[in-house]
Amino acid sequence: GENVEQHPSTLSVQEGDSAVIKCTYSDSASNYFPWYKQELGKGPQLIIDIRSNVGEKKDQRIAVTLNKTAKHFSLHITETQPEDSAVYFCAASDTGANSKLTFGKGITLSVRP
């Protein structure tokens, strides 16, 4: 089955700096890669996703890049703000009828004011 690894496990940045979170996956059949943000006491919230026919996707301060050959994808947050502090999860799935998301272990991002 799919195995998603996420690193580093914690990341601390100064407000205004950029943050990069990297994930690797094992199953070459995976072709959908979402990123979720989870705040304390809440469920994961989808912030951006990418499919395997696209190498990069941007949404304001957030971008995701995908390298299918190397089986890794990354989340880039620019101009970080204190409200970006949360746990971020990457995930992977295929697009079959019985697809399911496999999550990484998460990274705690702290943005220092």
Partner 1 sequence: DAGVTQSPTHLIKTRGQHVTLRCSPISGHKSVSWYQQVLGQGPQFIFQYYEKEERGRGNFPDRFSARQFPNYSSELNVNALLLGDSALYLCASSLGPAGLSGYTFGSGTRLTVV
Footprint of partner 1 (CB under 8 A)? 4, 6, 31-32, 34, 36, 41-46, 49, 89, 91, 93-106
Which CB atom, from 39 or from 56, has the smaller least distance to partner 1?
Answer: 39
CB 14, min distance to partner 1, A: 25
CB 37, min distance to partner 1, A: 11
Which CB atom, from 18 or from 105, has the smaller least distance to partner 1?
Answer: 105
* Angle at CA of residue 13, ends 76 and 102, nearest 5°: 45
Which CB atom, from 24 or from 31, has the smaller least distance to partner 1?
Answer: 31
CB 109, min distance to partner 1, A: 15
Of residues 70, 57, 53, 64, the one with CA closest to residue 19: 64
Of residues 64, 13, 7, the one with CA closest to residue 34: 64
Which CB atom, from 30 or from 80, has the smaller least distance to partner 1?
Answer: 30
Instruction: Rounding to the nearest 10 degrees, give the CA dihedral for residues 23, 26, 30, 36.
Output: -30
CB 21, min distance to partner 1, A: 13
Q: CB-based contacts of 112: which residues, under 8 Å, 6+ apart?
A: 12, 13, 14, 15
